[in-house]
Amino acid sequence: MKLEGSFPVSAPRPVVWEAIRDPGLMAQCVPGCEMAEQIDDTSYRARVLVKFGPISARFNLVIEIEQEIALEEVRSRARGEEGTRASTVSSTNILTLSEPEPGTTLVAWSTDFSISGRLGKYGMGLMRKKVESLSAEFVKAFAARLEESAA
């Protein structure tokens, strides 16, 4: 399933660039993220709790940076599984930054992701709505964090 979006942040591009590469800050903004840490130069580990109706699924994710152009673009791949259960997620992601006017950064993202196992029960139509509401939550938290540190 492919999804994309973009949102502006009232902060200069280098500040946003540093923020998206800071696992501690990202962990505070990603809904349900319980832990995030850097493994080496290009890989990260994270644990994310996804709740959907009566189902709570805790995914252990590995995120690998495949390519990055400083201040402009990050291409990454994430995959993860839910403990011993047969639930898996995987995604390829592209994030680009631009500064349409000084002091405002436009963050554009796109992802191609798949999910199987327990959460697959709900079908892609509903999953799309869930991803949309989670990303809206992230955008709100991320923009708030950056604007607060810029102020």
Partner 1 sequence: MSFVVAPQTVDEAIAFLAANPDARPMAGGASLVAMKNARLIEASHFVSLARIEALRGIGPSAAGGLRIGGMMHHRQIAECADLTGGWQMLRQAAGLIANRVVRNMGTIGGAIANADPAADYLPVLACAGAEVELVGPDGLRRLAVADYLVDWYETALEPGEIVTAIELPAGGDGPSVYRKLARTPGDYATVSVACAREGAGPDSSVRVAVGACGPAPIRDRDAEAALAGRLHDPAAIAAFCATLAEQADPIDDVRGSAAYRLKLIPRMVAAAIRDVTGDR
Residue 49 engages partner 1 in binding (rule: CB under 8 A): no
Q: Which member of 53, 83, 100, 102 binds partner 1 (CB under 8 A)? A: 53
- Which token pair is 16? 């946003």
Residue 1 engages partner 1 in binding (rule: CB under 8 A): no
Burial class (CB in 10 A: 0-12, 13-18, 19+), 148: exposed
Total residues at the site for partner 1 (CB under 8 A)? 16
Residue 102 engages partner 1 in binding (rule: CB under 8 A): no
Name the one range near partner 1 by CB under 8 A: 27-35, 50-58, 64-72, 75-83: 50-58
Sign of the four-CA dihedral 102, 132, 27, 117:
negative
Residue 140 engages partner 1 in binding (rule: CB under 8 A): no
Name residue, tokens 């639930």: 87
Q: Which member of 31, 118, 138, 141 binds partner 1 (CB under 8 A)? A: 118
Burial class (CB in 10 A: 0-12, 13-18, 19+), 9: buried
What is the spatial distance between Cα 135 and Cα 149, in angstroms, rounded to a whole number?
21
Residue 121 engages partner 1 in binding (rule: CB under 8 A): yes
Residue 123 engages partner 1 in binding (rule: CB under 8 A): yes
Which residues form the interface with partner 1 (CB under 8 A)?
51-55, 118, 121-126, 128-130, 133
